[in-house]
Amino acid sequence: MSKTPSLKFVRHPHPAPLAADKRAELLKNPGFGRVFSDHMVTIRYSESEGWHDARVEPRAPIPLDPAAAVLHYAQEIFEGLKAYRTAGGGATLFRPRENARRFQDSAERLAMPVLPEDVFLEAVDQLVSVDRDWIPDGDGSLYIRPFMFANEIFLGVKPSSDYLFIVIASSVGAYFKTSAPAVSVWVSPDYTRAAPGGTGAAKCGGNYAASLIAQAEATKHGCDQVVFLDAAERRWVEELGGMNIFFVFDDGSMVTPPLGGTILPGITRSSLLTLAKDKGIAVREERYSIQQWKADAASGRLREAFACGTAAVVTPIGIVRAPDGEFTIGNGGSGTSTEALKASLVGIQRGTAADPHGWIHKVF
């Protein structure tokens, strides 16, 4: 479906980038997803030319025809990864090729052209390099959002013939705005995230749009996030609205729901599985029911639970609410396994710990 491109990225610097003092003020407390850098990367695709016209240019609105295919048939995918500032003033990415491969898998599922790994990586490198001053110091990072959508001007149910790939960046701090020691989650009784044969394993906007009503329900019940059960039996825990989940037991072992087409194969999830095994922690990828979750929390067998993802990193879960009541996990806060795994992961990501698996990609 895609042609292998030989692309040269043409740079068009921003004629009036944000002044350094105004940028510094924004970076003091950027929040999440509200502060954007000066530039973006764009690459076009057409059936006749393949991938072409790669540009690094000022961030600006996208001209879009009202009949653009994405607005009617939702052919759209995206990724999320972070750039971190190193002690020496450089910048690194964490496992970006895994993002490139997942982006390819998402494209195939939605009948979209596959962007080569090296082109994905070069696009991200180009943006991080030109907008390096937007990487916050301290615990902040530059959140990178590559995405692609169908922009053929056509009303008809078929794969588009034209696409636009874009990379933008946002300076970010903490994902969850809470002073609590752990987040609370709402078990959705009515809504599911994905079904077998659907797009659950793809990172597409439709999955997140379908989760918003359940997230609103969680907020109504005083919870930070929603947790979804499987679509077939409404019994098995799958994932949160935008994060994978792990359970830690009193014998030190861990469980996480298995991938099977309905759960997003998280890169943070994969990394934590490896880090846990490095520490000698027995990890099982197996189904875990909501009934068992409640029983194990009550008996004390379950000591910890945490959510994980690029944005949230590793976040402890303290309280679980459902229509039939609520229960607390462990002491209601974080736990030793959660904190140890988070420290190992963040240490590698930020270059303060050894990188035995070669996960770090140096941008400059």
What amino acid positions are annotated as catalytic residues?
203
Among residues 132, 124, 131, the alpha carbon closest in space to that of 97 is found at 124
Among residues 359, 313, 311, the alpha carbon closest in space to that of 338 is found at 313
Neighbour count for residue 251 (Cβ, 10 Å): 9
Distance CA 142, CA 35 (A): 10
Among residues 5, 8, 40, 44, the alpha carbon closest in space to that of 149 is found at 44
Amino acid at 364: F
Which pairs with CB-CB distance under 8 Å and at least 24 residues apart come from 15-21? 15/58, 20/133
Both tokens of 346, joined, read: 């963040």
Both tokens of 196, joined, read: 């077998």
Are the beta carbons of 206 and 70 closer than 8 angstroms?
A: no
Query: Could you tell me the end-to-end alpha-carbon distance of the chain, in angstroms, rounded to an integer?
Result: 33
Neighbour count for residue 49 (Cβ, 10 Å): 12
Are the beta carbons of 267 and 312 closer than 8 angstroms?
A: no
Angle at CA of residue 200, ends 114 and 339, nearest 5°: 105
Both tokens of 253, joined, read: 């072992």
Distance CA 276, CA 255 (A): 11
Among residues 96, 169, 94, 128, the alpha carbon closest in space to that of 9 is found at 128
Distance CA 12, CA 164 (A): 18
